[in-house]
Chains A and B, each alone.
Chain A
Amino acid sequence: MSSPAGSGLQLAVSDLRVEIAGNLGVVRAVDGVSLEVAPGEAVGLVGESGSGKSMTLKSILGVLPPEAKVTSGQVVLDGTDLTRLSHSRLNKIRGRRVAMIFQEPMSALNPVMRVGNQIAEGPRVHLGMSRAQSVQRALDLMRRVGIPDPERRFRSFPHEFSGGMRQRVMIAIALSCDPELILCDEPTTALDVTIQDQILRLLAHLCRESGTSLIFVTHDLPVVAQICHQVAVMYAGQIVERGTVAEVFRSPLHPYTLGLLRSAPDVDQPGQSLVPIPGAPPSLIAPPSGCRFHPRCKFAEEDCKVTEPPLRILAAGRATACLHYERCLDEMGAEA
């Protein structure tokens, strides 16, 4: 997928840090994350569970759980720092300029409110539409996302829909006020593979159509390949690699990314054996010293255990946090 041209950034996250107060100590869930999204661009955020990708997304809109707090950093949307906004002003941006789609559509929809009303709620609140207008808009959206028989389905409740249908409802809700940016928090993880594909195509199509930017969080690499232009890889609360999807997947510059690619089945290479990444994700209360991945990294050297490597920008939009990224190139070269 080629990245569309755009001047000026849609969204710029700089050095974001989020802490969670827990029983055993302070969890540094997001520890210095920086991200950029250009207008019309789809950026993937990849990582294991617990890597902090969900938290990053939630802190953009300020919908973190009560125990979590943004302790430093900025989230700049078109010149405005969202972390500094008052609650009421942030509310005007939520749903209107930046929308979010969640993972579990069953629990993410209000069980006692009709589906159509939930879709129509955004336009009523943000766009000042009358009841009739918002209903019309909801019906249009339902058609756009492919929900059959919208007039009748408008009055249904979430539990009457299948998983895939519910996710379409969530997409409709996200699109309802024509946002500039949609945040997707693993929207296809809870769905069947066949439905997954449908939803992904739908998302990609809708965003291309309207030029909406996307940040797409997932642990599933093939999904990123299908829908995103750029990808950022997260590990233990930090970004460890960045670049275009084609480049990162073809020649990863971080051992973790390499490990992820190796452990993911590739439909084009059915006979290839999968190599899991040894070890377990680190504690976010007391992460390993130096590079956080070093206990699991087969290329680890002495300096990896000592210095915490910054995310270094290399040429042409690529970035990596590995001190010895050439080892990855060697590895890939050996395979070719």
Chain B
Amino acid sequence: MGRMTFVFRRLALLVPTAVGVTIITFFMVHLIPGDPAVTVLGQHATPATVALLHHQWGLDKPLAEQYWLFMDRLVHGNLGESLYYQVPVWGLITGRLPATLWLLCYAAVIAIVISVPLAVLAASRKDAIRDHVVRVVPLLGLGMPAFWFGLILQTWLGTKLRLFPVTGYGQGFVGHVHTMFLPSLTVAVALCPVLIRSLRASMLNVLGADFITTARAKGVPAPRLLVRHVLRNAVIPAVTVLGINIGYLIGGTLIVEQVFAVPGIGSLMIGAILQRDFPVVQGVALVFGVLVVLVNLLTDVAYAALDPRVRFGR
């Protein structure tokens, strides 16, 4: 099948998941004990605001109808209105989405730049000293809270050494690259453990394969062997692992945006939580869900692009 067919088939499979995402987000409201409107509003709860929310959410109507209303508004791009800012949630999100996307891409790039050489270093001499050293890194990284690392980076490289700004998004491309370096590095460091481990494992797998012996017998020089033969095959399973863990990665942006005051949807959500601004929380959660679904699709496409055996029917 052609590549487009592959993509469309995958997209079709994602529809039920996407629908499920909306259901969960919708139901979050109903998980709240007691009268959700009262709980959500907290100290803002006056009979007027409670009634407004009741109306906005259609809480007096049957559940199915409520969901239908929710989906109807969703399809028209209406995610409700922020209780705090009193502007449409959708506008808030689209305004801050670029910063988060920047953070994610930048972090992914940094993570790859760090992980690939380390994995190569480890896999090329299995069980040697350098292999053990590299394997310890993920063990430390897995247990390290991202925000803590971010705080440390912020203090040392930002405040004390003044190498980077400690907060914000920056202006223009170069500004972004400079300002977003610390938060992106923080997120990248959270991703590296998983990436290093899986790259190392798949490289070891590839290194033992027959076609590598063939390539060696052909006299392919080491750099070319590494890139065109070893890595080219080893990245395939690693892409899958990256895709699976991207959800975890995206979750990490929440706290990192907060620490570095990056104006993205992560900090928007945290702010909304602290301000008890439920429509925003619901809206951002939904967007995150859709984002993950899209990234999974991207991973599948990337996998198919990288592995010719997959393209031709499974």
User: Is any CB of A less than 8 Å from a CB of B in the complex?
Assistant: yes
Flag if A96 contacts B214 (CB, 8 Å). Answer: no
Bound Cα distance A63, B228 (Å): 19
Given contacts A108-B214, A110-B233, A111-B211, contact A94 B219 (CB under 8 A): yes
Partner of A93, one of B219, B222, B233, B307: B219
Bound Cα distance A210, B221 (Å): 26
A109 contacts B by Cβ under 8 Å: yes
B218 contacts A by Cβ under 8 Å: yes
A95 contacts B by Cβ under 8 Å: yes
Size bracket, chain A contacts: 20 to 34
Give the chain A neighbours of B229 by CB distance below 8 A: 110, 113
Bound Cα distance A87, B221 (Å): 10
Given contacts A94-B217, A125-B221, A173-B218, contact A107 B209 (CB under 8 A): yes
Binds B, one of A37-45, A76-84, A98-106: A98-106
A262 contacts B by Cβ under 8 Å: no
Bound Cα distance A63, B210 (Å): 11
Flag if B218 contacts A107 (CB, 8 Å). Answer: no
Partner of B217, one of A95, A104, A126: A95
A298 contacts B by Cβ under 8 Å: no
Flag if A112 contacts B219 (CB, 8 Å). Answer: no
Flag if B211 contacts A110 (CB, 8 Å). Answer: yes
Flag if B211 contacts A92 (CB, 8 Å). Answer: no
Flag if A113 contacts B217 (CB, 8 Å). Answer: no
Given contacts A91-B219, A125-B221, A157-B308, 19 further A-B contacts (CB under 8 A): A58-B213, A61-B216, A91-B221, A94-B218, A95-B218, A95-B220, A102-B217, A104-B210, A108-B210, A109-B214, A111-B233, A111-B307, A112-B306, A112-B308, A122-B218, A125-B219, A125-B220, A160-B312, A170-B214
Interchain residue pairs with CB less than 8 A apart (26): A61-B216, A63-B216, A88-B221, A91-B219, A94-B217, A95-B217, A99-B217, A102-B213, A102-B214, A104-B210, A107-B209, A108-B214, A109-B214, A110-B229, A110-B233, A111-B233, A111-B309, A112-B236, A113-B228, A121-B218, A125-B218, A125-B219, A125-B224, A157-B308, A159-B309, A160-B312
